[in-house]
Amino acid sequence: MSVIELDDVVKRYESGAQTVTALKGVDFHADRGEMVTIIGPSGSGKSTMLNMIGLLDTPTEGTVHLDGRNVTGFTEDELTEERRTTLGFVFQDFHLLPMLSAVENVELPSVWDTSVDRRDRAIDLLKRVGLGDRLDHTPDELSGGQQQRVAIARSLINGPDILLMDEPTGNLDQDTGRTILEEVTRLKEEENIAVVAVTHDEQMLDYTDRTVRIVDGVIQS
């Protein structure tokens, strides 16, 4: 069973008198242990698609299934809960809080969790991305690649089923980008999660299990 599935998803944006149909009947799925990369020209609908998969926006038509559950009619509260427990997000510009240390940034999405082992899990994740000796450093004391590794550790703190990455190597040089992608590949297997990435970065295709091309809101087969 796929952890995420879009069926015949249409997304229309209304702005003033104009309607833009950003997704024109998109089918998509991703399975555990698989990295799927969505690639396509600027304006083709990649971010719109990632927003549907990440439950950050809702389709105009069509359905979204997460772990086999139809989440299409979910309320905003239910979607928020679903995002917190099922999804991890990594962005191009890392989105770390500057006043917090690496370990505090990683712990942040789990502050609601009263279990005692949050700090241990955060430290474990940071060690697994090679930052065991940078736990107390703040983002400005870390390189770009190290900051992105903190962001990846943070995305995994709640044990998601799906990791979504929007241009995760966009702000990194090529070698650092490769190191990050190698780490994501390893974590994907260790945690048995699905990874869905959006990119312009052709080198990401070396690490992906499957590539989905989108042009003008339509998936190319």
Cα–Cα dist 91/154, whole Å: 12
Residue burial 65-96, b: 16+ Cβ < 10 Å; e: rest: bbeeeebeebeeeebeebbeebbbbbbbebeb
Nearby residues of 186 by Cβ (< 8 Å), 6 or more positions away: none
CB of 61 to ligand ATP, least distance (A): 15
48 binds, among ligand ATP, Mg ion, none (CB under 5 to 8 A by kind): ligand ATP
- Nearest CA-CA partner of 51 in 2, 108, 6, 3: 6
In sequence order, what DSSP letters do the residues of 10-26 get, joined into one string? Answer: EEEEEETTEEEEEEEEE
Cα–Cα dist 157/85, whole Å: 10
189 binds, among ligand ATP, Mg ion, none (CB under 5 to 8 A by kind): none
Window of 44-52, 62-70, 114-122, 150-158 that interacts with Mg ion by CB under 5 A: 44-52
Window of 46-54, 133-141, 146-154, 180-188 that interacts with Mg ion by CB under 5 A: 46-54
Binding residues with Mg ion: total (CB under 5 A):
2
CB of 56 to Mg ion, least distance (A): 12
Among 6, 9, 22, 90, binds ligand ATP (CB under 6 A): 22
Instruction: Pick between residue 109 and residue 217 the one whose CB is nearest to ligand ATP.
Output: 217
Over the window 175 to 214, marking each residue x when it contacts ligand ATP by CB under 6 A and - when it does not, the resulting string is ----------------------------------------
Q: What are 145's strand-pairing partners?
A: none
Window of 43-51, 82-90, 174-182, 208-216 that interacts with Mg ion by CB under 5 A: 43-51
CB of 134 to ligand ATP, least distance (A): 31
CB of 154 to Mg ion, least distance (A): 22
Residue matched to tokens 């550790």: 153
* Helix segments in the chain, DSSP class H: 46-53, 76-86, 102-107, 118-128, 144-155, 174-191
Is 47 one of the binding residues for Mg ion (CB under 5 A)?
Answer: yes
CB of 151 to ligand ATP, least distance (A): 19
